[in-house]
Chains A and B, each alone.
Chain A
């Protein structure tokens, strides 16, 4: 709710490349010049997947992982029918892409250090942000196991300091990414930081609590089920504080008013007024 929606387009994009990223994740690169040109970190695209059983009508939302030249890249996990159809696409196949959608991450204010906190494929938009942020910072990646830590070497190649945590201890610290973040904060309490996070709700909620505790601004990118992706169907809503009426809430559309919100705006489940 901090920037205007840029102009969007729908274009038939050609699949340039499909790569695997460990056993569970993939990267798909599309030639999508009009979207690549406009894309900002934190925005997403809505894909109509040609191999999807036509009995399923909806597009599928994915964060922009990269936008370079006339190409965009998506980092995805196969979880259901749509992402399975996506995994079957090959170079030369065509996909209808709607985007870029939503408001991206706001730029880093001067004098602050960026901290990125990603869970699983939540690291997808954070890498795009790291690529477009000249000031290097610290990345915290978390996941269930080693294979859920995505892109650590890419962040390192950009010159960022990467910290990793896995719940099963198969890589990095054993435990939650937010526990690792908390430890880091204790050791760097004098550094002014702004946080950018994307991942499962549980992680984002923990990040939001820490942000309040440390008096830090934290921008969270939310993941909600979507219909239109364009602000018309009202399927993707989340409760936020009403900026005009203290103490009351209103619905915000994740697709249009988000997907990025400041952590204090969001009223999580159970916090309903």
Chain B
């Protein structure tokens, strides 16, 4: 049998396979350059960029918990100017679509970041982070309040001609209305999920493990939550959905594809194995061969009834 087709598209972004690396878990393209063949990735999403450089939270910023990680990095980043000057040139050389994750504390900041990036070359798309649990201002409020979500997506849509992906928060009562609002406001795609708000306490010191008290949970523990939300979001909108959350190996990614995701992003597992995303690509290919499928699109949304 011939090699199955893995190509997929998210908005106008053409990907050679449906596997990307998730924001905040793969750096800016240079950190893993000697360990990973980037050209085998479908795309990469860089860490959240804001208008001004941002220091993030004091350490401890990360804790290992059963089934995942708790992080409160607090969106440390070099700011949009520092990013385009110091990091974008190397990202352009990767030979894969680069998606820039952006965030702001106010509507105006989101707009301004999008405007600055519109002028830069070598960016395939923007991923709007309206769902980070780790900053006090703005952050998750944009992703959980329907009116604010609509305003921020509309505002950024006006500033960018690039593919616009809206990254949704998992901690909402229902995902479908928010998914629909993002679509109507001009999103080309949705990605979900971001980390889930969570907390850990050191029982010896009786203090929260993270300096920020709470953080965002990622890793295998959140995978089934993500599968449910992807499944529901896919049913609510026409635009493509990117499945994120707890992918460790190919079968987790395949689950997202079957639930209806057009692509997936691999996050926390990169810390254990920076080549994990490449193994996911190979595993999806093997699965297609084993199931006599010639194109990954045959898998997307193929979930059956109970």
Residues of chain A at the chain B interface (Cβ within 8 Å): 7-10, 48, 53, 55-59, 96, 98, 224-225, 227-238, 251, 256
Cβ–Cβ < 8 Å partners of B269 in chain A: 57
Choose among A7, A58, A234 the residue that contacts B34 (Cβ–Cβ < 8 A). A7
**B139 CB to nearest A CB, Å:** 17
A237 and B66 CA atoms in complex are apart in Å by 23
SS class of chain B's interface: helix, strand, loop or mixed?
Answer: loop
Cβ–Cβ < 8 Å partners of B26 in chain A: 232
List of 7 A-B pairs having minimum Cβ-Cβ separation, nearest first: A232-B27, A235-B62, A228-B271, A55-B66, A231-B31, A232-B31, A7-B34
Q: Knowing A7-B34, A59-B272 touch, does A237 contact B61 (C-beta < 8 A)?
A: yes
For A238, give the chain B residue with the smallest CB separation: B59
Cβ–Cβ < 8 Å partners of A48 in chain B: 272-273
A225 and B272 form a contact (CB under 8 A):
no
**A237 CB to nearest B CB, Å:** 6
Q: Knowing A10-B274, A227-B69, A233-B25 touch, does A57 contact B268 (C-beta < 8 A)?
A: yes
Cβ–Cβ < 8 Å partners of A234 in chain B: 47, 56, 61, 73, 76
**A110 CB to nearest B CB, Å:** 32
A10 and B36 CA atoms in complex are apart in Å by 10
A99 and B219 CA atoms in complex are apart in Å by 23
Cβ–Cβ < 8 Å partners of A98 in chain B: 35, 274
A263 and B39 CA atoms in complex are apart in Å by 40
For A9, give the chain B residue with the smallest CB separation: B35
Cβ–Cβ < 8 Å partners of B219 in chain A: 57
Give residues 58-86 of B contacting A (CB, 8 Å): 59-64, 66-69, 71, 73, 76
**B64 CB to nearest A CB, Å:** 5
Q: Knowing A57-B271, A251-B76 touch, does A230 contact B32 (C-beta < 8 A)?
A: yes
Q: B55 within 8 Å of A by Cβ?
A: yes
**A230 CB to nearest B CB, Å:** 5
A10 and B25 form a contact (CB under 8 A):
no
User: Can you list 23 A-B contacts with CB-CB less than 8 angstroms, sorted by A residue number?
Assistant: A7-B34, A9-B35, A53-B66, A55-B67, A57-B220, A58-B69, A59-B272, A225-B62, A225-B63, A227-B62, A228-B270, A230-B27, A230-B35, A231-B27, A232-B26, A232-B27, A232-B32, A233-B24, A234-B47, A234-B73, A234-B76, A235-B71, A251-B76
Cβ–Cβ < 8 Å partners of B24 in chain A: 232-233
Given A8-B34, A230-B35, A232-B270, 19 other A-B contacts at CB below 8 A?
A: A8-B35, A56-B64, A59-B272, A98-B35, A98-B274, A225-B60, A227-B271, A228-B271, A230-B27, A230-B271, A232-B24, A232-B26, A232-B271, A235-B60, A235-B61, A235-B71, A237-B56, A237-B61, A251-B56
A57 and B34 form a contact (CB under 8 A):
no
A211 and B31 CA atoms in complex are apart in Å by 33
B59 and A235 form a contact (CB under 8 A):
yes
Q: Knowing A227-B62, A233-B25, A234-B73 touch, does A58 contact B35 (C-beta < 8 A)?
A: no
